[in-house]
Amino acid sequence: MILSRGTRAFLWAVAALVLAFVYLPLVVVVIGSFNPARTFGWPPEGFSLTWWSAALHNDGLLHAVWTSLQVAFWAVSVSLLLGTMLSFGVARYRWFGREAVSFLVVLPITLPGIVTGVALQNAFLNYSVLGISLGFWTVVIGHATFTIVVVFNNVVARLRRTATSFEDASMDLGAHTFRTFWHITLPSVRSALAAGALLAFGLSFDEIIVTQFTSGPAVTTLPIWIYDNFTRPNQAQIVNVVAAILILVSVLPVYATQRLAGEDSGMGRRRGRRRDRGADDLAFTAATAPAAEYPQA
C-alpha cells in the first residue's frame, strides 16, 4: 500500500505503543517473581529463586495444576468427538435447521461466560433430575460447552475448503466408509483437529468464570487456586511465580500453532499461497475468533 512518510511514521508509533502496552504488565510480573521480598514491591529488592522453589514445592498448587490438566483433558476429548461430528454434519450435508444450529453452537462464546456459568449452576442445583452435585464432572461439562465451538469452527472451516473428490475416489477403489475416513478424511483434517484441540485445551486450562459457578467447594483448578491465593499474605509471591510461569509457558502453544500452520502451508508454498499464512496462523490461535478460517456462510 502506498503510504506517505507521515502515515508510516504514525503507524510505526502506534505499533510501538501497542506492543509496549501489551508487554509492560507481563514483563513486570516475570521480573517481580525473582524478588526475594515477602510482598510484591517495586522496584525489586534483589534477585532470588526463593519463591520459585517455594512454588514448585507447594502441594496445593501442584494439586490444582493436576486438577486443571484433568478437566482440560476431558473437556478436549468431549469437544474433539462432538465438535468433529457436528462439523461434518454441518459442512457435508444440507438439512432443515442447519443455520439455527450453526448459530446455537457459537452462542456459548458470544454470550458472556457469566451467563453460561449462572445457567449451568442453576440447572445443576435447581433442576437436576439426576441429583448431580457440583464437582469435577460439572466443571468438565461447563468447559466442554464452549470448547466444542473452537473444535467445530476449526474443523468446519477446513471441511469447507477441502473437496470430497479424494474420498469419492477412495470409495470407488473399494475402501469402505471407515477405511476412507481413517486414510483419507482424517489426515486432511488432522492439523485442524490439532489446532482446535490446542485452543480448547488453552481455553479450558485458563477458564475461571464458568469454573467458579460449576465447581463447588471440593474442586480447585489452577485459576481458582490463583484467585483464592491473591490476597493471602504469605502466598502472594508464590502467585507471582505461577503468573510468571504461565506467561513464559504461553510461548509453547504459539510455537505449536506456528508449526501446525507450517505443516498446512507446505502445499500452499509450492502454489505460491504463502501470503495466506499469517491469516491462517491467527485463525488457529484466535481464541474463539477463527475469522479467516470460518466459512462465509
- Interaction residues for another protein, span 130-169 (CB under 8 A): 141, 144-145, 148
Of 69, 171, 188, 228, which lies in the binding site for another protein, with binding defined by CB under 8 A? 171
Decide: is 23 part of the binding site for another protein (CB under 8 A).
Answer: yes
Of 64, 113, 170, 194, which lies in the binding site for another protein, with binding defined by CB under 8 A? 113
Decide: is 55 part of the binding site for another protein (CB under 8 A).
Answer: no
Nearest CA to 195 among 270, 85, 66, 288? 288
In the complex, the smallest distance separating the C-beta of residue 53 from another protein, rounded to whole angstroms, is: 20
In the complex, the smallest distance separating the C-beta of residue 16 from another protein, rounded to whole angstroms, is: 10
Decide: is 25 part of the binding site for another protein (CB under 8 A).
Answer: yes
Of 18, 20, 49, 186, which lies in the binding site for another protein, with binding defined by CB under 8 A? 18
Nearer to another protein, 89 or 187 (CB): 89
Q: What is the spatial distance between Cα 88 and Cα 292, in angstroms, rounded to a whole number?
A: 19
Calculate the alpha carbon distances from 167 to 92, 193, 231 in Å.
12, 18, 57
Nearer to another protein, 62 or 106 (CB): 106
Q: Which stretch binds another protein (CB under 8 A): 54-62, 69-77, 185-193, 239-247?
A: 239-247
Cβ atoms of 6 and 12 within 8 Å: the answer is no
In the complex, the smallest distance separating the C-beta of residue 176 from another protein, rounded to whole angstroms, is: 4
What residues between 261 and 280 interact with another protein by CB under 8 A? Answer: 274, 276, 278-279
Residue-wise DSSP of 224-254: HHHHHHSS-TTTHHHHHHHHHHHHHHTHHHH
- Phi and psi of 141, rounded to 5°? -60, -45
Nearest CA to 23 among 238, 245, 246, 247? 247
In the complex, the smallest distance separating the C-beta of residue 19 from another protein, rounded to whole angstroms, is: 6
Cβ atoms of 90 and 101 within 8 Å: the answer is yes
